[in-house]
Homo-oligomer: A and B are copies of this chain.
Amino acid sequence: MQAWLNKLSCPLPDSLRTPVETARFELEHALPGIPVQLTVAPDRGDAWELAESPDGWVLNGGETGLLYGAYRMIMDVLSGETLRPCATAPRYALRMINCWDNMDGSVERGYAGRSLFFEGGRFAYQPERMQELGRLLASAGINVLCINNVNVHEPAQRLTEDFLPALSALASLFRAFGVHLMISVDFSSPLRHEVSTADPLDPAVQRWWTETADRVYAEIPDLAGFLVKADSENRPGPFTYGRTHAEGANMLARALKPHGGVLVWRAFVYNCHQDWWDEKTDRPKAAYETYMPLDGQFEENVILQVKHGPFDFQVREPVSPLLLGLRRTRVSMELQLAQEYTGQQIDVYAMPPMWQEIFDEVPADRLDAVAAVSNLGRDANYTGHPLAALNLYAFGLLGWDPEQQPEAVIRRWIRLTYGFAPAQEDALCALLLGSRRTYEKYTAPLGLGWMITPHTHYGPNPDGYEYDAWGTYHRANRDAVGIDRTESGTGYLSQYPEDFREKYKNPETCPDLMLLFYHRLPYSFRMRDGRTLIQRIYDDHFEGCDEAERMAETLKTLPFPEPDRQVILDRADRQVHNARSWRDVINTFFFRFSGVPDVRGRILRP
């Protein structure tokens, strides 16, 4: 099982050491009849250029460029396209996967089985699967793999010490695929090594991190760097010592700098102990408030990693105002392939249309890198749901060229993975293109979010987070629902540029799907199409559920090979069950509040 590379039947030999060797091997075995001459231009990095020559093709590029070019050629051929001369380079130098794997073998928010890397508190993996994974990542253009959870639990806190040889061995396996490992580190680590503080301005702390970086890079010279979640959801961080996040990040960055490593610093900082009575605090404002004052203060090898939305990977969120605001900081946008809030790789949820919407709001050149929380696990198919592999593949392509159209990416993935006849390809493509909107319809309405079962994050629970400390409220009552985030409310919208504010500030003109994110509205509010808000909520939920049922029917008609077919159909049944549950609970919840019956007389639970 190699996801979209199933057609690459030739096993990879252990002897591959460099991306160029891998490129050569893959071309020879996958395209035996096509002569390709490889020429290395060491300074070109990931870029490559394909040209015709009298003897066949010439592929020129950096060492990794040749690898990416080779996979592009192979996948062009395998997906039935004609080879054409071209030249390309990735938009983002870092295209990163963040695994939230724990060393006990569990995966935080993992929906594809246990960890590919760890079990029982130690490294434990199949070398062949590491090669396959390297192949998959490289073929999609992904070049950084952070292997451990940003919540760094014991014993992952010792990756830079006891486990360094094992980490180094794993890094070797990925080297031939141009994939650089990264590790998540714990900001308070010095405290576990006889340093009395983790204050970033303390020389002993700085020394400890410098020595640690030196030790790690002596073993793994091409480690991508460190990833840090600090002062976030009860993790330790600079705030403990009265320091800013720039002071914290820069201290670590300086330790990495001599080795060419980057320090990726997550911007996921908010008050997770909010009193739900508190109407002043508005969680989406938190990241901007914390980081905008620091713009320009970060070392150049710091990358601030900002989630695409201001909350946490809900089905629909506006783009984070921090992504639009920062100008003098290197920024990575964090996406989430793991379907934490988006169906947990049970419900079909193809992400490229969502990402396209995000890039419609964030100019691509505002970003320096992209990162995605992994949807990988030990399941034979790597992603739990076979169709979820699309998201991993598409993320890689997006990191190379964010302007690619979702439909093209999806079609290419279907051709590589299943090679369906055109009508079937059309059906699956349409299903995938619409899957996110379907999921959105049957879950929390119109940008509201968070009506999901707490902790597990699957299935409906409209008040589940309402009286809690997480800052995620809808404040529905018998008259109205939502939070006013305009200037007359929490002022969140003020964090955006003028044109953005104009687009959303008025409920009469705010795009429907974001309406309840920005506005508190009565159920009787008239949508632009004449329906009331409450009717729109009902309609969306009936429609979303109907669509999920039709998706399940469509999936039954498609000739998926086994074992994919069984997995897909089983999960489709579960998705339908989930969709019905959401429809009924959400509609009932709002019917109980509003007392307004459905205009079409459909049954609402009293």
A276 to B459, CA, bound (A): 15
Establish whether residues B593 and A478, one from each chain, have CB atoms under 8 Å apart when the complex forms.
yes
Q: Which of B461, B467, B591, B606 contacts A467 (CB 8 A)?
A: B461
Residues of B close to A589: CB separation below 8 A: 463, 467
Q: Considering the complex, which residues of chain A in the window 349-393 have a beta carbon less than 8 Å from any beta carbon of chain B?
A: none
Tell me, in angstroms, the Cα distance from A77 to B479 when the chains sit together. Answer: 65
Are B479 and A595 neighbours in the complex by a CB distance under 8 Å?
A: yes
Q: Are B461 and A606 in contact (CB under 8 A)?
A: no
> CA separation between A537 and B276, bound complex, in Å?
21
In whole angstroms, what is the CA distance A595 to B522 when docked? 14
Q: What's the least CB distance linking A606 to chain B, in Å? A: 7
Q: Verify A584–B478 contact, CB threshold 8 A.
A: no
Contact status A592-B277, CB under 8 Å: no
| B594–A277 CB distance below 8 A | no
Whether A478 and B478, one on each chain, are in contact in the complex, defined by CB atoms closer than 8 angstroms, is yes
Number of copies: 2
Q: A585 contacts the other chain (Cβ, under 8 Å)?
A: yes
By a CB distance below 8 angstroms, the chain B residues around A581 are 467
User: Once bound together, how far apart are the Cα atoms of A447 and B589, in whole Å?
Assistant: 23
Chain B residues with CB under 8 Å of A593's CB are 477-478, 592-593
- With the chains together, A287 CA to B461 CA distance in Å? 29
State the CA gap A456–B394 with chains docked (Å).
40
- Complex Cα distance, B484 from A606, in Å, reads 14
Given contacts A277-B605, A584-B277, A605-B277, contact A592 B467 (CB under 8 A): no
Chain B residues near A460 (CB, 8 Å)? 467
Q: Are A594 and B467 in contact (CB under 8 A)?
A: no
Convert A478-503 into 0s and 1s, putting 1 for each residue whose CB lies closer than 8 angstroms to a CB of B: 11000000000000000000000000
Once bound together, how far apart are the Cα atoms of A216 and B235, in whole Å? 53
User: Could you list which residues of chain A lie within 8 angstroms of chain B, going by C-beta atoms?
Assistant: 276-277, 460-464, 467, 475-479, 581, 584-585, 588-589, 591-595, 605-606
The list of the 5 closest CB pairs from A to B, nearest first, reads A477-B592, A478-B478, A463-B463, A467-B585, A478-B595
A-B contact pairs, 26 of them (CB 8 A): A277-B584, A277-B605, A460-B467, A461-B463, A461-B464, A461-B467, A462-B463, A463-B589, A464-B464, A467-B581, A467-B584, A467-B585, A467-B589, A475-B606, A476-B592, A477-B592, A477-B595, A477-B606, A478-B478, A478-B592, A478-B593, A478-B594, A478-B595, A479-B595, A592-B593, A593-B593
